[in-house]
C-alpha cells in the first residue's frame, strides 16, 4: 500500500539517455488476473508480476478475502485459494478500495464463486468520477441482486449467475474484465458486445483459458463466454507493460537520446510508435509481438495532434507523457482527451516549468517552446507523475517532484531504469 507519501524526486535536467533498458510486467494486466484467482481453488502461480504498490494493495485485498498471497523478488506472485465458497470473508473494505479503485475487479469473481460480495463503492479520483454503473447493470442482467448501502455495493446471487447478452454503452476496460470473469462460471453463455479490446483484456482472456475457461472472440469487441462448472488454478506469465514501454520511449525521445528497449510489447504499441515517428523520432522495431525497440532522437521534435481513444486508438494512459514532448516540440498542437473528464492535471504543473499550454475540460492547446525550466512541481496522478519526470529530464536546471507515491503505483523502480541510462535523479523523503 502507499507508505511513501512524503517522498519526492530531485531531477537534474539536461542529460541524454543512452544505453539499454527493459520493460516490466503490466500493472493493468496483473490486477484483473490476480482477481481471477478468486475463481478457482488451488495454488496459482503468476510470473512477471511487477513489484508495485498497487499490486501490494491487491495482495492485501485478496488476503482480507481469505486467500494467501506471496510476491517474491523474482516477480512470481503465488496465490493459494482454499476458500470453501461459503459467503464468508466477502467484504472489500473502504480503506483498501478508496486507495485503489481497481479493487472493483473482485466484484464479478466474488459473485461468480461465492454468490455474495460487499465491495466499497470506489470513489472518483483526480482524473474523473470513475463510475461503475456499467459493471453493476451487467451483473444484474446476469442475475445478481445489487444494492448500494452506505457507500458499499452489496451483491448476492440466488444459486449461480446465468449467461446474458451484455451491450456496453461505453467501452469499459475493468467493466469488460469483471463481466468476463463472472461469465466463466455462470450457467449458459454470455455475449459481451462493445467489449474493451485492450491488450490487458486479451491477456486476462489467455489467463482464463489457462484456467479452463471457454472464451471466443478474444481480441475483438465481441466476447462469447460459455460458463463451465469449475476452473483450475492458473500458471501464467503476465504481458509486458505497454504503457511503461511507451513512457520509456517518450523519456528517451524527450532527451534526444539513443536507447534500445528490450521486452517491448511491440504489436500493441504501434499507435504510440507511429506518433513518435511522426514527431521525428527514429524508431526501429521488428514486427514481432514482443521484442526490442531502438529509439533515436537527434533533431527537435515536430508538433502533432493527439486524440485519445479506446484500443487500438491512442491510449489515454499515454496522453500526459506525450503532452510533455509536445510542450517542447516545434509548432502548435491540440490534445483531445476523449476518455476521462479531468485528465489535464499535469497542465498547470508543466506551465510552471515554462510550457505554453491552455486547456478546457477535454482539449489542450499547446505552443511548443525551446526548453522547459526546472521547478518544484506536484504529481497528481500516476501518468501525470510520469509526464513531470520526463519534463524534469529535459528541463534546464533542477525539478523537485512532490507526491511521487503516484509514480510508484504503476512503475516498477522507474527512476532506477532512467538512472541506468544516464539520468540524474535522487529520491528524498
Ligand atoms: C482502466 O480503467 C485502466 N485501469 C486505466 O488505467 C485506463 O486509463 C482506463 O482503463 C482506460 O483505458 C486499470 O485497468 C486498472 P474504463 P477503468 O472503465 O477500467 C466510463 C492507469 O493510469 N465508465 O475503461 O476504470 C469512465 O468514466 C489507469 O493505469 C462509465 O461511465 O476505465 C470513463 O470515462 C488510469 N461507467 C470511460 O468509461 C462505468 O461503469 C472508460 O473507463 C465504467 C466506465
> Cell 466484484 belongs to which residue?
107
Q: Report whether 421 contacts 357 (CB < 8 A).
A: no
- For the stretch 273-285, pLDDT in tens is 999 999 999 999 9
Q: What is the Cα–Cα distance from 219 to 397, expressed in whole angstroms?
A: 45
CA 35 to the chain's CA centroid: 15
Q: 130 CA distance to ligand 1 centroid (A)?
A: 7
Ligand 1: residues with CB < 6 A are: 28, 31, 102, 128, 130-135, 170, 172-175, 316-317, 339-340, 382-383, 410
- How many C-beta atoms surround the C-beta of residue 72 within 10 A? 11
Q: 124 CA distance to ligand 1 centroid (A)?
A: 11
Question: Per the residue annotation, which of 90, 125, 205, 264 is the catalytic one?
Answer: 125
> Cell 446474458 belongs to which residue?
164
Pocket test for ligand 1, best of 25, 26, 28, 194 (most atoms within 8 A of CB): 28
- For the stretch 260-317, pLDDT in tens is 999 999 999 999 999 999 999 999 998 889 999 999 998 999 999 999 999 999 999 9
Residue 1 has pLDDT above 50, yes or no: no
Residue 30 has pLDDT above 80, yes or no: yes
Q: Which atom of ligand 1 is nearest to the CA of 125?
A: 35
Q: What is the Cα–Cα distance from 426 to 267, expressed in whole angstroms?
A: 34
Q: Which atom of ligand 1 is nearest to the CA of 316?
A: 8
Given strand 189-193, what is the order of strands in its sheet? 165-167, 189-193, 222-226, 214-216
Respond yes or no: is residue 205 known to be catalytic: no
Pocket test for ligand 1, best of 148, 175, 200, 345 (most atoms within 8 A of CB): 175
Q: What is the Cα–Cα distance from 137 to 112, expressed in whole angstroms?
A: 15
DSSP string, 353-395: TT-EEEE-SSEEEEE--S--B--EEE--SHHHHHHHHHHHHHS
pLDDT (0 to 100) of residue 413: 92
Q: What is the mean pLDDT of residues 383-402?
A: 98
Q: Report whether 55 contacts 30 (CB < 8 A).
A: yes
Q: 107 CA distance to ligand 1 centroid (A)?
A: 16
Grid coordinates representing 31 are 490486477
Q: 174 CA distance to ligand 1 centroid (A)?
A: 6
Partners of 312 in the beta sheet? none
- For the stretch 48-69, pLDDT in tens is 999 999 999 999 999 999 999 9
DSSP annotation of 132: -
Q: Which atom of ligand 1 is nearest to the CA of 177?
A: 19
Amino acid at each position: 500500500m502507499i507508505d511513501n507519501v512524503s517522498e519526492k524526486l530531485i531531477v537534474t535536467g539536461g542529460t541524454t539517455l543512452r544505453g539499454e533498458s527493459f520493460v516490466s510486467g503490466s500493472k493493468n494486466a496483473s490486477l484483473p488476473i490476480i482477481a481471477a484467482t478468486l475463481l478457482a481453488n488451488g495454488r496459482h502461480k503468476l510470473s512477471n508480476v511487477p513489484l508495485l504498490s498497487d499490486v501490494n494493495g491487491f495482495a492485501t485485498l485478496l488476503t482480507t478475502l481469505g486467500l494467501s498471497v506471496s510476491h517474491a523478488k523474482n516477480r512470481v506472485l503465488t496465490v493459494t485459494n482454499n476458500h470453501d465458497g461459503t459467503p464468508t470473508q466477502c467484504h472489500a473494505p473502504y480503506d483498501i478500495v478508496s486507495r485503489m479503485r481497481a479493487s472493483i475487479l473482485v466484484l464479478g469473481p466474488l459473485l461468480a464463486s461465492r454468490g455474495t460480495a460487499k465491495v466499497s463503492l470506489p470513489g472518483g479520483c483526480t482524473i474523473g468520477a470513475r463510475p461503475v454503473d456499467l459493471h453493476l447493470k451487467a451483473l444484474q442482467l446476469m442475475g445478481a441482486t445489487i444494492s448500494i448501502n452506505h457507500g458499499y455495493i452489496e451483491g448476492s446471487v440466488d444459486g449461480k449467475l446465468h449467461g446474458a447478452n451484455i451491450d456496453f454503452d461505453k467501452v469499459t476496460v475493468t467493466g469488460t474484465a469483471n463481466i468476463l470473469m463472472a461469465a466463466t462460471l455462470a450457467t449458459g453463455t454470455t455475449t459481451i458486445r462493445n467489449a474493451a479490446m485492450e491488450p490487458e483484456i486479451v491477456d486476462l482472456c489467455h489467463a482464463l483459458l489457462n484456467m479452463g475457461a471457454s472464451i471466443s472472440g478474444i481480441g475483438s469487441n465481441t466476447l462469447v463466454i460459455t460458463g463451465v462448472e469449475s476452473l483450475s488454478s492458473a500458471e501464467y506469465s503476465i504481458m509486458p507493460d505497454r504503457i511503461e514501454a511507451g513512457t520509456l520511449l517518450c523519456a528517451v525521445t524527450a532527451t534526444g537520446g539513443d536507447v534500445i528497449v528490450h521486452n517491448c510489447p511491440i504489436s500493441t504499441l504501434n499507435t504510440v510508435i507511429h506518433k513518435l515517428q511522426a514527431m521525428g523520432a527514429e524508431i526501429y522495431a521488428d514486427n514481432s509481438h514482443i521484442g526490442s525497440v531502438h529509439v533515436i532522437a537527434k533533431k527537435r521534435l515536430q508538433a502533432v495532434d493527439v486524440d485519445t481513444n479506446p484500443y487500438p486508438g491512442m491510449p489515454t494512459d499515454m496522453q500526459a507523457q506525450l503532452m510533455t514532448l509536445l510542450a517542447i516540440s516545434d509548432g502548435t498542437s491540440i490534445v483531445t482527451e476523449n476518455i476521462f473528464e479531468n485528465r489535464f492535471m499535469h497542465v498547470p504543473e508543466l506551465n510552471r516549468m515554462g510550457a505554453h499550454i491552455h486547456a478546457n475540460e477535454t482539449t489542450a492547446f499547446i505552443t511548443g517552446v525551446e526548453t522547459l525550466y526546472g521547478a518544484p512541481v506536484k504529481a497528481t496522478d500516476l501518468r501525470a507523475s510520469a509526464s513531470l519526470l520526463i519534463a524534469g529530464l529535459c528541463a534546464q536546471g533542477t525539478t523537485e517532484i512532490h507526491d511521487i507515491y503516484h509514480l510508484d503505483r504503476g512503475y516498477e523502480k522507474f527512476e532506477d531504469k532512467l538512472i541506468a541510462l544516464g539520468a540524474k535523479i535522487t529520491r528524498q523523503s
